């Protein structure tokens, strides 16, 4: 794994985005972008698998992981994340790439894939579509409002076991690794997760609105795989039906006994994604 960073820009100034790379730099690029309160290291296990064939690039979005927080939290918006990832493409001089996006990372990928002359050639949407209801968004907001204080890695590990159980059948070791990679120690000895709590501000400001990207969906022309957690609260059967009505060649894989969202840390899921990306 190689770690780098670059400067991105928002109306409140410059901020540094950190990203990790796996595989041969001469391989075809594959960008993996995480969910709302997550970070790039969620892709460690699938990156090791896919690095045999791709140059895997995993950024931390602004305010997450080891990227800078934004000076003005009002700019934690989808538009800013899209701009930051477009800057990543420019920074790396990437003109063609595949994309795996988990939740928020999928919304960013969908948006970029819908832009004319998009560099995205194959798109994997991990349990996300072009619509999230305000009810589902409110569930996400409530998760932020209840974030506890942690006094040990064991406490944080137990938190992940409970609150990320819907990711699927992960081992105790995997939950422990999630905890180890997702905290910083405060001056009082307590543990803080690696995201700026203010990333939720924009959701709070629009908590009575649906997130609606249906207008962009018809413009996604590249081959697309939709991973669907069978128990997902965000990606409902109605949304999937609407996506299929517009894009009849949409590939869908349902992940049983999984909610929002499949972890991509399970070998079976990694194989599914690898095989789909390798199709001609």
Per residue in 157-178, pLDDT (tens digit) is 999 999 999 999 899 999 999 9
Alpha helices in 104-145 (DSSP H): 104-113, 134-145
Helix 78-91, helix 104-113: angle, nearest 10: 70
Question: In percent, how much of the chain has pLDDT > 90?
Answer: 95
Residue 219, CA distances (Å) to 48, 78, 79, 178, 247 in order: 32, 18, 17, 36, 9
All domains of the chain, ordered by start, with CATH?
Answer: 2-132+212-277 (3.40.50.1820)
Helix (H, G, I), strand (E, B), or coil: what is residue 118? Answer: coil
| 101 closest CA partner among 136, 128, 121 | 128
Q: Please write the tens of the pLDDT for every residue from 177-227.
A: 999 999 999 999 999 999 999 999 999 999 999 999 999 999 999 999 999
CA atoms 108, 64, 71, 3: torsion sign = negative
| Residue 45, token pair as written in the block | 């296990």
Rg (the chain; Cα; Å): 18
* pTM exceeding 0.95: yes
CA torsion, points 79, 98, 119, 104, in degrees to nearest 10? -10
Calculate the average pLDDT of the chain.
Answer: 96
Confidence of residue 280 (pLDDT cuts 50, 70, 90): low
Q: What average pLDDT does this structure show over 136-151?
A: 87
When pLDDT is cut at 50, 70 and 90, the band that residue 71 belongs to is very high
Structure token digits, residue 193: 């997760």
Confidence at 145, pLDDT banded by 50, 70, 90: confident
């Amino acid at each position: 794994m190689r770690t780098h960073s670059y400067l991105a820009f928002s109306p409140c100034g410059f901020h540094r985005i950190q990203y990790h790379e796996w595989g041969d730099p001469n391989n075809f690029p594959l960008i993996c972008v995480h969910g709302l309160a997550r970070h790039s290291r969620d892709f460690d296990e699938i990156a090791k698998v896919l690095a045999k064939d791709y140059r895997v690039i995993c950024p931390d979005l602004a305010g997450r992981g080891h990227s800078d927080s934004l000076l003005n939290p009002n700019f934690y918006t989808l538009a800013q994340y899209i701009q930051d990832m477009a800057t990543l493409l420019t920074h790396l001089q990437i003109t063609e790439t595949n994309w795996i996006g988990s939740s928020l990372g999928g919304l960013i990928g969908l948006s970029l894939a819908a832009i004319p002359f998009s560099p995205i050639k194959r798109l994997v949407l991990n349990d996300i579509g072009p619509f999230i209801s305000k009810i589902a968004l409110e569930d996400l907001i409530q998760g932020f409002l209840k974030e506890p204080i942690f006094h040990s890695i064991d406490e944080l590990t137990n938190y992940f076991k409970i609150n990320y159980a819907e990711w699927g059948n992960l081992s105790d070791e995997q939950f422990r690794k999630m905890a180890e990679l997702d905290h910083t120690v405060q001056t009082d000895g307590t543990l803080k997760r690696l995201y700026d709590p203010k990333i939720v501000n924009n959701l709070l400001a629009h908590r009575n609105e649906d997130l609606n990207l249906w207008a962009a969906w018809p413009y996604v022309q590249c081959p697309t795989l939709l991973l669907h957690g069978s128990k997902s609260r965000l990606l409902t059967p109605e949304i999937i039906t609407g996506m299929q009505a517009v894009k009849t060649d949409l590939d869908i894989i349902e992940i049983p006994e999984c909610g929002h969202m499949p972890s991509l840390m399970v070998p079976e899921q990694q194989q599914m994604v690898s095989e789909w990306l390798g199709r001609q």
